[in-house]
Structure 1
């Protein structure tokens, strides 16, 4: 269950899960209201990323189950069905520049708890 903790600079931060709930170098799906957000833990780099869970190619909720990796230092996620790859920094489609970008969200860790930042106008 997500709990909003703070709103700052038009970003609402909500509690998504505990650090240990996300597999090292993998992802999980987190619900925020009606939204599905894919949350990724790059344990090797000690970095966290979040994006929409829906792959824009065929509109399937699957990105959280995709393969994480890097391309020229850029963290990316590959859709498990179509192998389209997206930057987890800015959401652009790396494998097909004509493909729609995905939405990305900021992530922060506090006391082994993971928080995701969403647009302050989002309703839970």
Structure 2
């Protein structure tokens, strides 16, 4: 059964950055690309390096889609769905995420 897990306040995530959260047993990267309530959540595990680092990547834009570039090997992962722009075989999980009425970021857990 899935449930919403509170990970932080929206104001804890600086615009144009990400944070890492443990949601169940999953390392999740939560991104706030602009100074707004718009947020995204994808796996924090870089599948090329098998390291929990994507929350420290750089947010960019390609073909009108936002992505994060891994800080290790620079592969790009689309924020809306975890698709790997550089090699689709390495696409990663994405998560439903929301900001509740009290300003807390919540990620939907799959377990």
Number of aligned positions between the proteins: 110
- 1:48 alignment partner, one of 29, 32, 39: 39
CA RMSD in angstroms comes to 1.5
Which deviates more from structure 2 when the two are superposed, residues 35-44 or residues 57-66? 35-44
Pick the structure with greater CA Rg.
1
TM-score normalised by the chain length of structure 1: 0.81
TM-score (norm 2): 0.90
C-alpha offsets along residues 75-101 of structure 1, whole Å, 9 cap, x if unaligned? 11110010000111121110223x311
Name which structure has the greater RCO, CA cutoff 8 Å, separation 6+: 2
C-alpha displacement at 1:11, in angstroms?
3.4
Moved over 4 A (4+): none
5+ residue gaps, structure 2, are none
Alpha-carbon separation, structure 2, partners of 1:11 and 1:32: 11
Determine if the alignment matches structure 1 residue 96 to structure 2 residue 87. Answer: yes
Q: What does 1:1-124 align with in structure 2 at a 5 Å threshold?
A: 10-44=1-35, 46-97=37-88, 99-110=89-100, 111-119=102-110, 122=111
Unaligned runs of 5+ in 1: 1-9
- Bigger strand share: 1
